[in-house]
């Protein structure tokens, strides 16, 4: 029995307590492997779903399939695992910034199933974000098993996300960079080492199970100087497309929230609309890896008009799927929209300047993908590395950097916050390490309490009070009721200064007459940012803290600065 | 080493909730096991130093506190001693013979004498009712270990240019280790002298033991008022 108990708590094994960094690396291997497996599992089941449903595609009622899938996935999320819809990455970032990476165990599989239903049936969404969420949840739960502290847990959550992305794209660097740039937002060696290990583990798992294939291989491109100049235009187009997608996704979300139907009906409506679009433009259906491959090879034969239409159709379909309650990520749709935008741009160029020897259109498809990813996520590095790795083409690096950087900058102008973070920032819940918001949210009123105030009673005479002043270190004296102990008001030394040297007043005045009853108070569970705002508005330097009408202590800006500095130093070291 | 959370917080001079949170978030090199905090002293000390925090184990802390404490009247007077029949006709000669009697062997008595005179030149230390409290302007942290008050009953009352022009018959020479101690002793002494019955008692030229017991009584009274 005892041995069993020891097995249940691996955190108590001495071998794991030898060195924290070694322990983290070991756990990173485990987490990377598990999330890699999750990614492979989703990928395989998507392929299976696709093959199984392929036979039904040419029936006239096939447009209902995305509706059924989306409705089932919404029902599953809402009724069975009781999680909100959405793609999952914001949830991971939220848990990292607010709860030290704590996530529920069921999150490690819920999104896999729901996104499989949505995408497999033809909904326009990507399998990456659900895999990231699963990987992160797996990491979080393994970290909990080893009873790691918050900082280590956050790193392991990052490992899960990195392993997932690495595995699904067979792209270790992209996984690493995505995890650090988007999920953690903190470039530090303590994070990078385990995350790199997890990426390797995830990639290796995917290579063992699926073979070392480059997702979108292509022919060699010969890029001329003019092509690089033309990239700037592509960057602008992809920035516009990403802003459009961001806006449309958000507004769809707003519209569907107002619709007075249960969530699965909404999801079904969205899916149905996608299915109808899919009848005319089948490219919008599913995660779209197959058409992507054709486009990069330069074998996509539709004309300029259709391609342009497809860009908008895909944007619309993605917003309909995700905004109305389907489950999945925006990664793959971004890639598809990006390559469609690239194709459009290329065909436009050829139409305008037919004599210029432009590079193959597949190259522009690649660049458009990078532009969209960078623009949507505000993560230029992720865009650059992902495209290099999934296409195995290093020769496009220069235009790739230009497109990614310009697209990110432009999107930053129009949408200051990336799509993933927007909701969090609006709620004030994005707490990146080392920032003011992070420090203020970590400190609590309880920790700043100064308890060296001497509490006085309301019926005390001024004479007795003067004896108390002699011994006190503070200028503030809280007054409470003798019988109930409730807080009544404050006396500041300034209030009694006029009477201090007038002995006639000593026995004539009780404190209840002098005290200030109109005091701004702070409650124990107030947010510090709110407390600080109150202090600034009222020009106060200290305020009394009250809990259930009793005085607890004072909170002052001086102590706050002291603790704030301590906290900042402790949080930003290493 | 292992300490419980409350002691740990005291050692670091931080609120318990802060230490608890830092351990949970992994910001401080301490491991939790139940309510215990496991840490390596040297590592934690270095960490605290690097982050501008204080860290001291409980017993070291207590030692420091004692050094900063204030001396009360009674121990200071016990160290200083009580002397009768100090000879002299004016301020200088009285101070000269009083300084010679001071029970502080290590001190430069000529220097101290000059410093006392220097203070008298500023304004008289005769505080009235026949009492004077000569003291140097600066405290003497390097020359004496403990603050002391030497009580000197004069052979005959002399003119000290006191505030009320009454002849001084007793001097309390006050030497202190710090300004804070000086002020504390001075205010306690002043409290005693303010009481007329105490001065009447002094006029009986009491011997050392009865003076000290009277001082102890007065001091108890003073502490009672404070509380």
Band (A164; pLDDT cuts 50, 70, 90): very high
Q: How many structural domains does chain B have?
A: 2
Residues 6+ apart with CB under 8 A from A63: A272, A275, A276, A278, A279
Neighbouring C-beta atoms of residue B33, cutoff 10 Å: 11
The answer to whether residue B64 scores a pLDDT higher than 50 is no
- Of residues B155 and A197, which shows the higher confidence score? A197
- Residue A309, Cβ neighbours under 10 Å: how many? 16
Helices marked H in A170-188: 172-178
Domain match, B121 and B15 both: no
Do B77 and B63 fall into the same domain?
no
Tell me: do B77 and B151 sit in the same domain: yes
For A217, residues 6+ apart whose C-beta sits below 8 A from its C-beta are A391, A392
Q: Are residues B222 and B132 in the same domain?
A: yes
Residue ranges of alpha helices (H) inside A13-121 are 20-54, 64-75, 89-99, 107-120
What integer pLDDT is reported at residue A219 of this predicted model? Answer: 66
Residue with structure tokens 């060699």?
A220
User: Do A225-427 and A440-572 come out as alike in CATH topology?
Assistant: no
Are B48 and B55 in contact by the 8 Å Cβ rule? The answer is: yes
Q: Which residues of B touch A152 (CB under 8 A)?
A: 26
Per the structure, the complete domain to which residue B131 belongs is given by 73-226
pLDDT, residue A229, reads: 86
**Final residue before a domain boundary, out of B36, B67, B98:** B67
Local structure of B82: helix, strand or coil: strand
Shared domain for B161 and B201, answered yes or no, is yes
Kindly report the CATH number assigned to the domain that includes residue B117. Answer: 3.40.930.10
In angstroms, the separation between the Cα of residue A465 and the nearest Cα of chain B is 12
Q: E-assigned strands of B107-209?
A: 126-128, 131-132, 148-158, 168-175
Tokens representing B93 are: 């000669």
Domain boundaries, chain A: 2-210, 225-427, 440-572
- What is the CB-side half-sphere exposure of residue A115 using CA atoms within 13 A? 35
Q: Which residue has the higher pLDDT, A412 or A324?
A: A412
Size of interface A-B (CB pairs under 8 A): 45
- Phi then psi for A402, rounded to 5 degrees? -60, -50
B68-97 pLDDT, tens digit each: 567 788 888 888 888 888 888 888 888 888
Q: Cα–Cα distance between A122 and A1 in angstroms, integer? A: 51
**What pLDDT is attached to residue A243?**
92
- Sheet harboring B31-33: ordered strands across? B2-4, B36-38, B31-33
CATH number of the domain bearing residue B37:
1.10.10
Distance between CA A405 and CA A414 in Å, rounded? 15
**Residue A490, strand partner residues:** A478, A516
pLDDT score for B65: 45
Note whether B159 and B120 are same-domain residues.
yes
Query: Does CATH number 3.40.50.970 belong to domain A440-572?
Result: no
Residue B211 is given by DSSP the state H
Return the ∠ at Cα A248 (arms to A119 and A135), rounded to 5°. Answer: 40
> B interface toward A at CB cutoff 8 Å?
14-15, 17-18, 21-28, 31, 50-53, 225-226
Same domain, B54 and B135: no
Instruction: Report the mean per-residue pLDDT for chain A.
Output: 84
Longest dimension (CA), chain A: 104
Residues of A with CB under 8 A from a CB of B: 17, 100, 148-152, 442-444, 446-447, 449, 467, 470-471, 563, 565-566, 569-571, 573
Taking the CB of residue B157, how many other CB atoms lie within 10 A of it?
13
Interchain pair A565, B52: CB under 8 A: yes
Residue A160 tokens read as: 């899960």
* Overall average pLDDT of the A140-164 stretch: 90
Do residues A553 and A455 make contact, with C-beta atoms less than 8 angstroms apart?
no
Question: A308 versus B36: which is more confidently predicted?
Answer: A308
Residue for token pair 């007793």: B170
Query: How much is the pTM?
Result: 0.75
Q: Does domain A2-210 have CATH number 1.10.3720.10?
A: no
Give the tens place of pLDDT for each residue, A246-297.
899 888 888 887 877 787 888 888 888 888 888 888 788 877 788 888 887 7
Same domain, yes or no, for B175 and B85? yes
Q: Flag whether pLDDT at A303 surpasses 50.
A: yes
Q: Is B84 a catalytic residue?
A: no
At residue A233, the 3 state secondary structure works out as: helix
Which range has highest mean pLDDT (A4-13, A165-174, A493-502)?
A: A165-174
Q: How large a percentage of chain A has pLDDT more than 70? A: 95
CA A229 to chain centroid: 34
Q: Is A566's CB within 8 Å of B28's CB?
A: no
CB contact (8 A) between residue B18 and residue A569: no
Domain A225-427, CATH 1.10.3080.10 — does that match? yes
Question: In whole angstroms, how large is the CA radius of gyration of chain A?
Answer: 30
Look at residue A167 in the predicted model and tell me its pLDDT.
Answer: 92
Most distant CA pair in chain B, distance: 76
Last residue of a domain, one of B67, B85, B113: B67
Rounded-to-integer distance, Cα A288 and Cα A40, Å: 17
DSSP β-bridge partners for residue A555: A543
Do B219 and B157 share a domain, yes or no?
Answer: yes
B151: β partners: B82, B172
Which residues from chain A sit within 8 angstroms of residue B225, using beta carbons?
A: 467
Residues B61, B104, single domain; the answer is: no
Token pair for A561? 């600065």
Q: d(Cα A374, Cα A513) in Å, to the nearest integer?
A: 66
Residues B145 and B218 in one domain: yes
Which residue from A63, A219, A199, A231 is spatially nearest to A135, judged by alpha carbons?
A199
Residue pLDDT, tens place only, A125-139: 888 888 999 999 999
Residues facing residue B152 across a β-bridge:
B83, B171
Are residue B117 and residue B197 in the same domain, yes or no?
A: yes
pLDDT, position A198: 94
Whats the size of chain A, residue-wise? Answer: 574
> Tens of pLDDT along A437-468?
888 888 888 888 888 888 888 888 888 888 88
């Amino acid at each position: 029995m005892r041995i069993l108990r020891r097995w249940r708590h691996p955190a108590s094994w001495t071998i794991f307590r030898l060195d924290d960094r070694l322990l983290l690396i070991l756990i990173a291997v485990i987490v990377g492997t598990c999330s890699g497996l999750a990614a492979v599992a989703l990928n395989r089941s998507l392929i299976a779903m696709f093959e199984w449903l392929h036979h039904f595609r040419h029936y006239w009622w096939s447009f209902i399939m995305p509706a059924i899938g989306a409705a089932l996935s919404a029902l599953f999320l809402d009724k069975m695992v009781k999680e909100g819809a959405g793609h999952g990455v914001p949830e991971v970032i939220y848990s990292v910034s607010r709860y030290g990476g704590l996530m529920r165990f069921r999150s490690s599989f819920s999104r896999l199933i729901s996104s499989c239903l949505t995408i497999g049936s033809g909904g326009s969404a990507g399998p990456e974000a659900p895999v990231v969420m699963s990987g992160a949840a797996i990491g979080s739960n393994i970290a909990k098993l080893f009873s790691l502290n918050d900082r280590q847990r956050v790193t392991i959550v990052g490992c899960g996300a990195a392993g997932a992305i690495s595995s699904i794209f067979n792209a270790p660097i992209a996984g690493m960079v995505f995890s650090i740039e988007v999920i953690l937002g903190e470039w530090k060696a303590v994070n990078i080492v385990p995350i790199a290990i997890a990426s390797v583990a995830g990639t290796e798992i995917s290579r063992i199970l699926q073979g070392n294939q480059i997702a979108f291989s292509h022919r060699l491109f010969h890029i001329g100087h003019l092509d690089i100049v033309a990239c700037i235009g592509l960057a602008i187009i992809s920035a516009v497309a990403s802003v459009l997608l961001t806006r449309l996704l958000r507004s769809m979300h707003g519209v569907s929230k107002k619709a007075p139907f249960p969530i699965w009906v909404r999801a079904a409506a969205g899916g149905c609309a996608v299915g109808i679009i899919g009848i005319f433009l089948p490219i919008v259906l599913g995660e779209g890896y197959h058409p992507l491959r054709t486009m990069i090879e330069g074998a996509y034969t539709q004309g300029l008009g259709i391609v342009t239409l497809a860009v908008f159709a895909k944007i619309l379909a993605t917003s309909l799927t995700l905004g109305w309650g389907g489950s999945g990520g925006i990664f793959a749709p971004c890639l598809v929209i990006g390559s469609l935008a690239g194709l459009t741009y290329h065909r436009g160029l050829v139409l305008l300047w037919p004599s210029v020897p432009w590079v193959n259109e597949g190259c522009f498809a690649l660049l458009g993908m990078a532009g969209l990813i960078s623009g949507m996520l505000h993560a230029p590095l992720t865009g650059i590395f992902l495209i290099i790795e999934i296409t195995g083409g290093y020769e496009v690096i220069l235009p790739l950097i230009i497109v990614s950087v310009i697209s990110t900058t432009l999107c930053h102008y129009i949408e200051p916050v990336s799509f993933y973070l927007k909701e969090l920032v609006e709620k004030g819940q994005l707490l990146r390490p080392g920032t003011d918001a992070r420090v203020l949210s970590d400190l609590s009123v309880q920790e700043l309490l100064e308890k060296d105030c001497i509490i006085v009673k309301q019926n005390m005479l001024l004479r007795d009070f003067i004896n108390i002043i002699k011994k006190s270190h503070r200028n503030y004296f809280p007054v409470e009721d003798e019988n109930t102990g409730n807080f009544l008001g404050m006396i500041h030394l300034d209030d009694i200064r006029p009477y201090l040297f007038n002995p006639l007043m000593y026995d004539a005045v009780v404190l209840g007459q002098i005290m200030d009853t109109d005091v701004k108070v702070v409650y124990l569970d107030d947010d510090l940012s709110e407390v600080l705002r109150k202090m600034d508005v009222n020009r106060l330097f200290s305020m009394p803290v009250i809990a259930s009408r009793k005085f607890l202590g004072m909170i002052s800006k001086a102590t706050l600065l002291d603790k704030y500095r301590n906290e900042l130093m402790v949080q930003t070291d290493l | 080493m292992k300490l419980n959370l409350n002691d740990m917080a005291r050692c670091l001079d931080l609120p318990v909730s802060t230490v608890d949170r830092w351990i949970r978030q992994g910001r401080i090199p301490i491991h939790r096991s139940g309510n215990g905090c496991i840490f390596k002293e040297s590592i934690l000390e270095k960490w605290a130093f690097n982050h501008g925090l204080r860290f001291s184990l409980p017993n070291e802390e207590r030692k420091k506190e004692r050094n900063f404490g204030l001396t009360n009247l009674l121990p200071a007077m016990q160290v200083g001693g009580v002397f009768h029949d100090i000879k002299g006709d004016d301020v200088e000669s009285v101070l000269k013979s009083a300084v010679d009697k001071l029970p502080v062997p290590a001190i430069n008595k000529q220097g101290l004498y000059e410093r006392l005179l220097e203070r008298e030149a500023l304004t008289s230390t005769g505080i009235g009712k026949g009492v004077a409290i000569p003291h140097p302007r600066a405290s003497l942290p390097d020359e004496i270990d403990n603050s002391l008050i030497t009580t000197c009953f004069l052979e005959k009352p002399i003119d000290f240019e006191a505030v009320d022009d009454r002849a001084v018959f007793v001097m309390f020479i006050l030497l202190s280790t710090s300004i804070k101690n000086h002020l504390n002793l001075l205010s306690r002494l002043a409290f005693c002298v303010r009481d007329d019955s105490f001065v009447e008692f002094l006029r009986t030229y009491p011997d050392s033991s009865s003076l000290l017991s009277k001082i102890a009584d007065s001091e108890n009274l003073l502490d009672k008022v404070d509380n």
